[in-house]
Structure 1
């Protein structure tokens, strides 16, 4: 099971796209795996004949590093076709072993230090983790990272089961610390509880009993991650909230003119596209807000990558407009439309939703006047955008009717002072109310 995102600890093997006896080569798609954010296709990095499907399609909670498929190399015979087995033992990277008796399964979990170099177990397919003679024992993700960073695997010491080289080893060899989540996932999978059919899943929290008619809906991977991350954000980040009312009349007029000019190119700008551009430019004007808090350090970004909240069937996800401060609004509109469609179909790739320096959450289309958004760590701010509505406003000595939108910025007070946040909100307001600055 590859680590397909930095926060991925387990995955759901949604579907096998190969069967025992199939010949595969490097680049062939083997399976569809549901991560904590999307369903992704996993490609083979080797060639051979499928000898065994170790994990059954539909298995949930498969730990990163767990063997899910075995290939027979040239000159080896594939094992007889057999029904795929559910994950065995939950220890990543080791050879598959028969299900243990009930008394053994219930034994206390062995500490990670005790399983770093377990004695080798005879592989079910007659082929060890080393595969072909002289082949380096490394996970597929570790191989891809090593190739990208130019790291020679034969000089890396593996810390995974049976001495397997994992992502953390490659990034350490490249002189860059590995993400904590991926390292922990490879070494210490989440606790599991036995269920029917031998499959192991995370022990569920007890369901409250009630006489009120109800149904219990199991959380999907995306909803679990949302719950975990937002709980951490509200518990660990001291939020401060700053709200401004922005007049939209000039922006709406410019939007109409631009859309008329863009009709031959079949591009239509939304107010949200213009908000993304305005926030990106405001972050460049007030770089003290384009930051992330990192313990004893403050990371200051020289580019504004804007994450945009999209409501997908599986839950909230935030695709990113990279370099929004440098892109014309027509490009932002085109990219945002494509990313939103991929998000709703669950087809976003990790690089399309991981990262970002600030976020936009717009509930204006639902008629919401204003709200406070939760910061998406490790970012230090998020902009909550309400609906544009007709309001009476004072213009000099007169009271006039104008289209006004309330916008609230949530800021991480550890990284951004109130005065700096207020300066950012002022810069954003000025860009929206004088929108020619968005196209200059």
Structure 2
């Protein structure tokens, strides 16, 4: 029967995307692994590969279409011997099968449920077509989906015995559901959460500026996602802030010496490279702070995976440098340059900008002295880095002197890190940067 090609989930958080471009046309023959489309997510444009082989019978979603929900059918693939006439009678019909179709499914699969299928189908439509975690479709009959939903089964964990691995009734009947938590009937019903105050509507705002000249800028997927996630972060994460000045003179002198020695290799270390290394080592020194919030628990990480904010046109990426504590300064510098370049070209893969336990946002190169950054969940914190400027300081002997100082502010998720623990982490970062040679030990 014809196979629907579904809008894929190209990242764990993707809910919808733009079908930027079709790389095939109706009538083309495709094989598993062939590139068939370019999908624009909130962060990048990615190529989409065919999972099955066949002939493109019909393209359901035109290229350039925005807001296409994950698991929406976007095209239909025909097998040998099938024609476009078959699409209307099988692959193009709604997933919630009518009673007659459910009865036919039940009869085809056999068993005593066949006679009761029409009544059941009219009362309870089949659940929507399931999909695996990677967005690929799980093939299951409507009756199998309905039984799985009733039994609380995850179809992704069931091996199908039907044609082409299709999950049928007997497969879900033989599967065992995971035990469900008992409902606590004695507990009082939770009060509904108060709705977050909504701002004025777009029309209301536009009306305020009636008669004034302005340009309306349409939000792209990235801008919408940034707006939604940062609003949620600021409203739901209990932030607190820790501030320190860091004296950079020893680091700047050490960096100059290293760069002179590394010049034949074409390596030039930045202050930001040292900051990444300092944070990574600090997370190892204060392991309780190397953690992420996971809803009903905290995940303590082993490696230091540090995310670094990179500004691009229309938004930003936070590529993650994994195992930063284990890498040399020159390796971190090369990796950061590569990630930043591909971030600006929107060529990063999802696994390169997702994850990490802690982030760095550096606006020092823009002349910003200090600022407060918003924690990017599930991270436990983010270090906002300002510029290094000459400041008068009191030396250890009590004399007034001049030093290059850099102001940093660490924003912390209080659900994961308490005040004293956050202070320990920031102190470890400061110690690493003010004694840079220690980071090479």
**With structure 2 as the length reference, what TM-score do the two structures score?**
0.74
Contact 1:7 1:36 in 2 (8 A): no
Q: How many residues align?
A: 360
Aligned to 1:340: 340
Counterpart Cα distance in 2 of 1:172 and 1:291: 33
Q: CA deviation at 1:236?
A: 0.7
Structure 1 pair 77/420, CA: closer, same or farther in 2 (3 Å)?
Answer: same
* 1:9 matched to 2:10: no
Q: CA deviation at 1:410?
A: 0.4
Structure 1 pair 389/143, CA: closer, same or farther in 2 (3 Å)?
Answer: closer
Local SS of the residue matching 1:245:
strand
Q: CA deviation at 1:281?
A: 0.5
* 1:54 matched to 2:33: no
Q: CA deviation at 1:340?
A: 0.7
Aligned to 2:369: 369
Structure 1 pair 59/316, CA: closer, same or farther in 2 (3 Å)?
Answer: same
Local SS of the residue matching 2:432:
helix
Q: CA deviation at 1:121?
A: 11
Contact 1:362 1:385 in 2 (8 A): yes
Contact 1:241 1:409 in 2 (8 A): yes
Q: CA deviation at 1:296?
A: 3.5
Structure 1 pair 143/31, CA: closer, same or farther in 2 (3 Å)?
Answer: closer
Structure 1 pair 142/280, CA: closer, same or farther in 2 (3 Å)?
Answer: closer
Counterpart Cα distance in 1 of 2:9 and 2:376: 21
**1:20-48 alpha-carbon deviations (Å, 9 max, x no partner):** 12222121111111112211111111222
Counterpart Cα distance in 1 of 2:158 and 2:393: 59
Structure 1 pair 67/381, CA: closer, same or farther in 2 (3 Å)?
Answer: same
Aligned to 1:355: 355
Q: CA deviation at 1:78?
A: 5.4
Counterpart Cα distance in 2 of 1:144 and 1:242: 44
* 1:18 matched to 2:24: yes
Structure 1 pair 175/358, CA: closer, same or farther in 2 (3 Å)?
Answer: farther
TM-align CA RMSD: 3.3
Alignment of 1:66-81 (within 5 A): 66-77=72-83
Q: CA deviation at 1:329?
A: 1.2
* 1:322 matched to 2:328: no
List alignment gaps of at least 5 residues for structure 2: 1-6, 102-128, 160-175, 179-200
Q: CA deviation at 1:294?
A: 3.0
Alignment of 1:74-223 (within 5 A): 74-77=80-83, 95-96=91-92, 117-119=96-98, 139=131, 169-170=155-156, 205-206=202-203, 208-209=206-207, 210=209, 211-223=211-223
**With structure 1 as the length reference, what TM-score do the two structures score?**
0.75
Aligned to 1:426: 427
Counterpart Cα distance in 2 of 1:226 and 1:18: 32
* 1:32 matched to 2:38: yes
Counterpart Cα distance in 1 of 2:213 and 2:272: 41
